[in-house]
Structure 1
C-alpha cells in the first residue's frame, strides 16, 4: 500500500486550512488514495465542535468557527502544532477494508503518547482515568493527557469514509491561550504545554520530525 503524502502548510488561517482539508477529502475519496498527513499552525481561533455546550465559550474575543468534527469548543493558536490526517478509512496498513473510527483514534492518540515518552513524559489516552480524576463526567475526554493536564486535544470528522480534522498539541506556553472558554468542557487551567511540563524551551522542529515519523509509521 502506498504511504500517506505529507504536507506542511506552515502558519495558515483556519478558514483556508478547512477549505484545503475539504479539497483533500474529495481527492482521497475520488482517487481512492490512502490519504495525506498535514502539519500546520493557526492564528488564534476557537473552533466549535458538534458537542459544544453553551457555557463552553463565554468571553472569547477572537474568531469563532463552527465545524463538523466531534468534540466541544477548543482553541487553536501559534503555540500549538496542529495535525490533520486526511485518512481513507477503507485502507489500513495491511490493505484490508476497515472503515472503523475508534481504532484510528486510538492509533492517533497512541502516536502522540509515544513521542511524549521520548521526552520522559508518561502520556495517557483520553479514554482513561484522567476525566474521572477531574470528576468532570460531562466533559470531552478525548486527546492526550499527562497526569491531570491535557496536552493535546483531538477531534475528528468523517465524510465519505475519509477522516479529517485532527489534533492540536500545546507545545509552547501562551498565557492568552484558552482565555474566555472552557476548552473541551474543562477549566482553562487543565490545559498544559510541553514547555511547561519540561520547564525548558521546546525545539519545535525536532518535535515535528519525531511526530511526523511516528504517524507515518502507524497510520
Structure 2
C-alpha cells in the first residue's frame, strides 16, 4: 500500500459523497491484506485531519465536509468489527472530545482502537462541564482521562479542569493525556496546560496508555496562551 496515494484517493472519494466507491476502495485494501487497525490509524486518521484542517480554513465546502465525515464514520464502524481484540483488560478510560462532527469522528477512531487493545472506554463526547467530568471520574474511577481531538476553544476549559483536579487532589493516580485536534496543531500545548502525556495518532494514544505510568505531576505553564493563538 502506497500510503500517500491511498490517503489522497480515499479523501477524494469520501469528500465527493461516493459512498459505494469508497466502500469498494477500502474493501480492496482489506482484500490485499491490509489490517483494519492499520487502515484506521494510517489512512482514516490522516483523512480526518485533512478534513478538519481544510474545513477550518474554508478550503472545502460544508457539503463535502458532511459527505466525508459521514462516509468515513461508516467505514470506521465497519472496520472496527474486524479488529483483533486483546484477551486481557488493560484499564479504564474516560475520553472527551471536541464539538464538531469531524472531532467526534477522530475520537471514535481512537475509542475503537483503545477498546480493541483491552481498555474499557467511557466516551463522553463534547459539551460536558468540568463539574460533570469530575463527578464522572469519581463514579467510574478510570486510570486515565483522555482529552482527544479537542478544538482550540476547548483548551482553556481543559486547563481549568486539570488545575481543579490538582487542587482537589482526589485522583492522585489519574493520568491525563491530551492529543489530536488542537494538540496536534500546537506543539507542546498538552504539556503546557498540565497534561502528563500527549499522542498524535490513535495508535500512539494506545501506546501511551500502555506505557509505564509516569509519577511526575502535571504542571501548567504560561506559554499555553501563545500556543493557542498559534493554533486558532
**TM-score of the aligned structures, taking structure 1 as reference length:** 0.32
The answer to which structure has the higher helix fraction is 2
Which fold has the larger relative contact order, with Cα–Cα distance below 8 Å and residues 6 or more apart in sequence? Answer: 1
The answer to which structure has the higher strand fraction is 1
Q: Which has the larger radius of gyration?
A: 2
